[in-house]
Amino acid sequence: MQKNEQIWQQRYLAAPKQLSKLKNVGTVIAAFNTNIDAVVKIRGDELSKLAEQFDLKIADIKNGVNQLCSVRDVVRGICKCFINGIAEEWLCQDAAIAEWMQKNLQYERLQMGGQAGIIANLAAVLGVKRAIVHTASHPKKQAEQFLHYKNLYAVDENAELQQASTMNRVNDDALIHYIIEFDKGECCTIEGQNFTAPRANRFIATYDPANMHLKINDGFIKYVDENGYDFLVLSGFHNLTAKNGGEERIGEIVPLIKNWREHYPSGVIHLELASTQDKVIRRVILEKIAPLVDSLGLNEREAIDAIEIIAPDYYKKNKNEVLEAALMTEILLKIKEKTQTPRIQLHMFGLYVTLQNADFRINVEQNRNGMLFAAVVAASKAGYGKIEKPEDLLWSNIQNINVPELAELQKLSECLNMPELLSDGIAKLGKYDIIAVPTLIVPKPLTLVGMGDTISSVSLVSAI
């Protein structure tokens, strides 16, 4: 085991070499959801008071629907994530609930929100030639969340590129989401019982009419049609609901994706699945969008949610199992077989796993290099709190947080009887290639917002 630790430590020390290659990447486009995140840090005692104020029951937390239909549901959602150490996003369609959050949840800071916005900011720092973002709304407050980089663009209504940090559509409303974070080890009391957060994580409460209807800028569509991309990262479908016509909206977007694939076959399209609470929308994403893309990114919770749709009996059997690497890899195989997506990547605590077709255009060594570099960037973001300059990308290496967590990789290697997976991170799994990388663990992360988006996008774009 000590030899393997040394091997992986050396690989991590070499991972930053990927950064110099990124200046050769042409256009990275991120669409569709961009918003503003209001970050709230909640302590256990504060959550206890809220639970008491709203007479919250443990049964409500275990059995309730994952939707924000009342103010009480906001507290219920925070408690659910706190108790289980998980991350979820629940949607709100009632302006009164949004007003309560604005008055009662005091945020520490505003920052970029939405997968598209986060990925575009990061791509600009990575140094690609053009990072282009879609925005449904772009007032000054939104522009202020974009980094002031000349390679970071938004698209106006005339299909012209403008620097994202200076563009200002004065008649647009700011779209604000609440990110309620909690630390590992915080304690709260609910209905007389004490609970300790097993892991630092967050609950996201979203009221966002524009992104909830997946409003798309016509100028953006025209720009992509005419100019293409090297990487196109899609997200935001998780904000749709069947009640609000989400299934029909996806049906309108499918031809766009097909058209882009047909006209730009050398480009790579990636879908970030995200936490999709509406089961109808989850099914449509998996059946209509996932088969069209080259790559799919998800975390363990999103993978379980996908299996609930794809294999209900298997889901019922395994939904309460510990989400360890072996089980998650089995789940990835089922998702891949169903969607036929050429590449699928899981990011979980302690391990990243990629399954891909043997003939996928990005080879296994490139994928491993991209995943290692993504882990460095993710650890930097967690430990430093932000990524705004190229030197921020490598903060974790500079701080010597470069001892990878091998426990999950070892379990997976032993379960699959693949010792080469532990030493090399690369093996054959049936007709697919499997790439697995142990991650860097930051003991006290300053933030976890956008972590999955960071891992998926950096893994893919830097796999060169």
Gap between the Cα atoms of 49 and 56, Å rounded: 10
Pick the most confident of 318-327, 345-354, 399-408.
Answer: 345-354
pLDDT for 255:
97
- Name the pLDDT band for 402 (thresholds 50, 70, 90): low
3-state secondary structure of 164: coil
DSSP state string for 363-422: -HHHHHHHHHHHHHHHHHHHHHS---SHHHHTHHHHTT------HHHHHHHHHTT-HHHH
Which is more confidently placed, 65 or 59?
Answer: 59
Q: How confident is the model at residue 321 (pLDDT cuts 50, 70, 90)?
A: confident
pLDDT for 95 beyond 90: no
Whether the bond into 220 is cis, omega within 30 of 0: no
- Residue 259 Rama label (left phi>0; alpha psi -120 to 50; beta): alpha
**Which residues does 328 contact at the CB level (< 8 Å), separation at least 6?**
300, 303, 346, 348, 353
Distance, CA of 352 to CA of 436 (rounded, Å): 6
Q: Binning pLDDT at 50, 70 and 90, where does residue 445 land?
A: confident
Of residues 395 and 2, more confidence is placed in 395
Query: Average of pLDDT values for 24-36?
Result: 96
The CA-atom distances, in angstroms, between 121 and each of 29, 112, 163, 299, 344 are 11, 8, 12, 21, 23
Give the pLDDT score at 404: 76
Tell me what the mean pLDDT of segment 378-385 comes to: 92
Lowest-confidence pick of 1-5, 52-56, 406-410:
1-5
Q: What integer pLDDT is reported at residue 64 of this predicted model?
A: 84
Q: Which domains does the chain have, with CATH numbers?
A: 2-37+112-173+211-461 (3.40.1190.20), 38-111+174-210 (3.30.1110.20)
Residue 400's pLDDT band (boundaries 50, 70, 90)?
low
pLDDT over 90 (residue 443)? no
* Residue 14 pLDDT exceeds 70: yes
Average pLDDT, the chain: 93
Cβ atoms of 214 and 134 within 8 Å: the answer is no
Q: Is residue 1 over pLDDT 60?
A: no
In angstroms, rounded to a whole number, what is the distance separating the alpha carbons of residues 372 and 26?
Answer: 22
- Average the pLDDT over each of 175-184, 248-257, 381-390, 398-407 and give the range with the smallest value: 398-407
Give the number of other CB atoms < 10 A from CB of residue 173.
Answer: 14
Residue 58 has pLDDT above 70, yes or no: yes
Above 80 in pLDDT, residue 425? yes
Query: What is the C-alpha separation between 127 and 285, in angstroms, rounded?
Result: 31
Q: Where are the beta strands (DSSP E) in 183-340?
A: 187-190, 193-196, 201-206, 231-234, 268-272, 295-299
Give the model's confidence band at 403: pLDDT under 50 very low, under 70 low, under 90 confident, else very high: low
Sheet holding 130-133, edge to edge: 161-163, 152-155, 130-133, 27-31, 231-234, 268-272, 295-299, 343-348, 351-357, 432-438, 426-429
- Can you give the pLDDT at residue 388? 94
pLDDT tens by residue, 249-279? 999 999 999 999 999 999 999 999 998 989 9
Helix then strand count (H, E) for the chain reads: 21, 18
